[in-house]
């Protein structure tokens, strides 16, 4: 039987150095969504007045977090978008997909808990979930942990946030650059999850 590497051969030697992005604070922490002793909730707080956008699947079986975010993005097109910070919360270990009314309630509860933790309007809260499909989301675990996670929000906490969204990933994936466009310094940083 062939040996399976614990970490993908594509993994970089170290987490990349990402630039600080003004107005962005990040955190990651453990809520026990599926496993104990593992970071599984990510928070990102975006400063008031920031522009956001979303790209969504066209699948007819969109998960509750996708539906929640589609509605929030559509509402932001209205002239009276809520003021204040924007918050993103994501969990790993449970995809909150194919979960019906429980899933919709879980997405709402996650959004409300994240909004309360950073003093945001729930209409400015966006959610994502990744992990096992078809199991009820233990939203109460996320609600119980989000306050403590929010207390650790910090600029540049990219790696902590990235690790909190890993599921079958064998290493965290992130990239960033600082460049000058028309004489203005622009900082770009991002992270994602994907198996490897």
pLDDT tens track for 56-108 = 999 999 999 999 999 999 987 766 667 889 999 999 999 999 999 999 999 99
What is the average pLDDT value for the chain, to the nearest integer?
A: 92
pTM tops 0.75, yes or no: yes
Please count the CA atoms within 13 angstroms of the CA of 67 that sit on its side-chain side: 18
pLDDT at 181: 96
pLDDT tens track for 144-162 = 999 999 999 999 999 999 9
3-state secondary structure the chain: CCCCCCCCCCCCCCCCCCCCCCCEEEEEECCCCCCCCCCCEEEEEECCCCCCCCCCCCCCCCCHHHHHHHHHHHHCCCCCCCCCCEEEEEEEEECCCCCHHHHHHHHHHHHHHHHHHHCCCHHHEEEEEEEECCCCCCHHHHHHHHHHHHCCCECCCHHHHHHHCCCCCCCCEEEEEEEEECCEEEEEEEEECCCC
pLDDT grade for 9, boundaries at 50, 70 and 90: confident
Whether the predicted pLDDT of 47 surpasses 60: yes
- What does DSSP say about strands 86-94 and 24-29: parallel, antiparallel, or unpaired? unpaired
pLDDT at 185: 96
Percent of the chain with pLDDT over 90: 81
Q: How far apart are CA 111 and CA 21, in angstroms?
A: 23
Beta-ladder partners of 42: 28, 90
Q: How far apart are CA 118 and CA 128, in angstroms?
A: 17
User: CATH class for domain 24-46+62-167?
Assistant: alpha beta
């Amino acid at each position: 039987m062939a040996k399976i590497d614990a970490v993908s051969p594509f993994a970089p030697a170290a987490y990349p150095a990402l630039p600080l992005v003004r107005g962005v604070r990040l955190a990651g922490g453990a809520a026990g969504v599926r496993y104990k002793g593992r970071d599984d909730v990510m928070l990102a707080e975006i400063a008031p007045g920031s522009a956001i956008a979303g790209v969504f699947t066209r699948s007819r079986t969109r998960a509750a977090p996708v539906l929640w975010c589609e509605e929030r993005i559509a509402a932001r097109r209205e002239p009276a978008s809520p003021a204040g910070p924007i918050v993103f919360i994501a969990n790993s270990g449970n995809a909150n997909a194919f979960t019906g009314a429980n899933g919709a309630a879980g997405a709402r509860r996650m959004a409300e808990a994240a909004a309360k933790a950073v003093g945001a309007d729930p209409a400015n809260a966006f959610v994502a979930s990744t992990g096992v499909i078809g199991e009820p989301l233990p939203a109460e675990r996320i609600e119980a942990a989000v306050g403590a996670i929010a207390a650790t929000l910090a600029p540049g906490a990219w790696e902590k946030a990235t690790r909190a969204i890993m599921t079958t990933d064998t290493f965290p994936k992130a990239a960033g650059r600082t460049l000058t466009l028309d004489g203005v310094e622009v900082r770009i940083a991002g992270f994602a999850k994907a198996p490897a």
